[in-house]
A and B are shown apart, each in its own frame.
Chain A
Amino acid sequence: MTDQDLIQGLLNREEDAYRSLVDQFQVPVYNTILGLVQSEPDAEDLAQEVFIQVFRSIHQFKGEAKLSTWIYRIATTKSIDFIRSKKSKKRFAFLYRLGAPGDKEHVAIPDFHHPGVVSERKEQAAQLFQAIAQLPENQKTAFILTRLEQLPHAAVAEIMGITIPAVESLLHRGCINLKKLLDKKM
């Protein structure tokens, strides 16, 4: 089924088109979200929300970009929004704990084991993902789309709405930051 057929089917609210879209994009959407949010239940929930948003707003798709680009854009935006809301909740919880006497427990970033990593490299990958989680949003997005999703720089640029040199710069700065973060661990 071509993009055009798929879009037409979605506009006609055909069950086959819905199924076909989810079947075609579930892996890239879930994989991208999982790389960004680093939690399997959250990634599953967000991936479902991405498809529901695609179904509901397909009439807003103008066809200026590829359908996959548009879907990736929704997935990354939703993931970043989720991370932001989680961070603000954590901040609020931290402030709340400051008020409570005698509890100075440090909240560490939980270990995340990506299911696709080969078993011999699981430990190193977990530390790398912990460092990725600490990167700024745009560097993290560029890194995940390039290294985890293995998308070309041009596609990443289109998804993020920036130029190819800007993507390369984000990746360069991201790698430097990752090296610094990993340095601290060693």
Chain B
Amino acid sequence: MSIMHNQEDFFASLEGIRPAEPKPFFTSRVLNRFRKYEEESTASVLTRMGWAVTLLIILIIGNGFLLYSSSRSNDQAINKWRSTTPRWVVEYTEHPGTSVYDLPKP
């Protein structure tokens, strides 16, 4: 019986309890934290966009360089082939529709 009485005392300890309040200036702290959070997330979005644009520029420049260097090396190879190959072979290769009678004599 005494135990039951004590238990009731424990439960009664919550009677008339006042709601706990946060420390003063809670609203200002929340708003400051929210602003900071927003700034950070905006900054992180901008940083990510910056990285994406940089990567895109690097890819475009890299591709352009590869394209330029491959076309240059092709031209060089063609010129070398032209200078070392007999003229009629060059003419026949470059204009396959040409009649053999029109080709320069070897």
Contacts and interface: CB of A to CB of B under 8 A. Distances in A.
Say whether A and B bind each other. yes
A55 interface: yes
A131 B29 CA distance: 32
Contacts of A183: 3, 7
B26 interface: yes
A18 B34 contact: yes
Main secondary structure of the interface of A (DSSP, over half): helix
A15 B9 CA distance: 46
B101 to A, nearest CB: 81
A148 B29 CA distance: 25
B20 A114 contact: yes
B14 A182 contact: no
Contacts, number: 94
A114 B17 CA distance: 9
B22 A118 contact: no
Interface in A90-130: 114-118, 121, 124-125, 127-128
B16 interface: yes
- Top 5 closest pairs, chain A to chain B, by CB: A116-B18, A121-B13, A125-B13, A124-B13, A31-B19
Interface of A: 15, 18-19, 22-23, 26-28, 30-31, 34, 40, 43-44, 47-48, 51-52, 55, 114-118, 121, 124-125, 127-128, 131, 147-149, 175, 178-179, 182-183, 186
Interface of B: 3, 6-7, 9-14, 16-23, 26-27, 29-31, 33-34, 37
Given A30-B26, A125-B17, 19 more contacts: A18-B34, A19-B27, A26-B27, A27-B21, A31-B20, A43-B22, A44-B22, A47-B30, A48-B33, A51-B30, A52-B37, A114-B17, A114-B20, A115-B18, A124-B13, A148-B17, A178-B10, A179-B7, A182-B7
25 contacts: A18-B34, A19-B27, A22-B31, A30-B22, A31-B20, A34-B20, A44-B22, A48-B30, A52-B30, A116-B17, A117-B13, A124-B9, A125-B14, A125-B17, A127-B10, A128-B13, A131-B10, A147-B14, A148-B17, A148-B19, A175-B11, A178-B10, A182-B6, A182-B10, A183-B3
